[in-house]
Amino acid sequence: MTPEFQPLHDTAFRGFASDNYSGVHPEVLAAIAGANGGHQVAYGDDDYTGHLHEVFARRFGDPVEVYPVFNGTGANVTALQSMLPRWGAVIAASTAHINVDEGGAPERVGGIKLLTVPTDDGKLTPELVDREAWGWGDEHRAQPLVVSITQTTELGTAYSVDEIRALADHAHERGMTLHMDGARISNAAASLGLPLRAFTRDAGVDVLSFGGTKNGALLGEAIVVLNPAASEGLKYLRKLNMQLSSKMRFVSAQLIALLDDDLYLRNASHSNAMARRLRDALDAGIAAGELPGLSFTQETQSNGVFAVLPAGVADRLRERGFKFYDWDAAKHEVRWMCSFDTTEDDIDAFVAGIREELARAAA
């Protein structure tokens, strides 16, 4: 008899700090357990990884290459390496995860020069790309050869199909390719109300990272190559970057569980809806003059809400047990993230807490 494992944490607690804080969706856990019996060939020559290619082909179209990896940083760095020669550079928004939140991995591990552009909403435009898209043939400048966008962005905004297509066309006309960091690609699909293919392959994306961890997986993302001419060497780069899982069937099984029966969309639709519930409740309070000092810095288009609070209010909310991060402490800007398991009661309790602390601050 296997002893029952005793949790070391309060399993009823849910916060608003990150969609990485959430647990694993029960259907994903069931998929892992279902893949657990017997032996399977290691390093991706298993039945689950083979089936995963069929699943991605249905969602993204053919031709497609799929390379499961452990995490988003590994997916981004390895994908970008495969798209660049040694002298290549990547144009990205200054807020991009590859620039801000990957510990210098693109530069230190990938050997990639990042050419970053400030944006107000986390999104690039062809005009912003052109600030760094120059100097081809100049031996003194790293050559801009890839444009990388994040969908949805680190600021919670979503690119439309037309915006992505404009960037893809602009990049391709200049001999560059388009990479998409899709850590929250499922939230984008839910926000746009479109199939994954519509704003990736059909919009001109060459290579993307497909995120699972923030949307109910235990771990695991995938590098997805939509344009084979834009990428080479992934078979070797994945191992070189320590992203080749020996027991890959368990990563693949999770991604199959997310994609096979629209679980990716159900999870993302729910987390988006919870963010919308939070934003709508607070917007109504602002309109009624009941939430002095509260404002928002971004549109709420996915599962994140970006707000500005009066000084001290964020800390008092955290002292009450509502966990979340400062986004820009100097501006008192905070980020509130919802997850696939966020409940309406979680939102309503948080709204009540915000109301009480804003009233206290104004007294």
Condensed to tens digits (0 to 9), the pLDDT of residues 140-196 reads 999 999 999 999 999 999 999 999 999 999 999 999 999 999 999 999 999 999 999
Side chain identity at 170, as an amino acid letter? Answer: H
**Residue 27 token pair:** 């259907």
Condensed to tens digits (0 to 9), the pLDDT of residues 204-248 reads 999 999 999 999 999 999 999 999 999 999 999 999 999 999 999
Condensed to tens digits (0 to 9), the pLDDT of residues 318-347 reads 999 999 999 999 999 999 999 999 999 999
Ramachandran angles phi, psi of 182, nearest 5°: -105, 45
Q: Which of 298, 284, 289 is nearest to 358 (CA)?
A: 289
Angstrom distance (rounded) from CA 125 to CA 167? 6
**Three-state SS for 142?**
coil
**Residue 235 token pair:** 């078979």
Q: Which residues contact 317 (CB under 8 A, 6 or more apart)?
A: 309, 324, 353, 354, 357
Share of the chain above pLDDT 90, in %: 98
E strand intervals along the chain: 65-69, 88-93, 113-117, 143-150, 177-182, 207-211, 221-225, 295-296, 304-308, 325-328, 333-337
Report the relative pairing of strands 325-328 and 304-308 from DSSP bridges: unpaired
Please name each of the domains of the chain with its CATH number: 26-262 (3.40.640.10), 265-362 (3.90.1150.10)
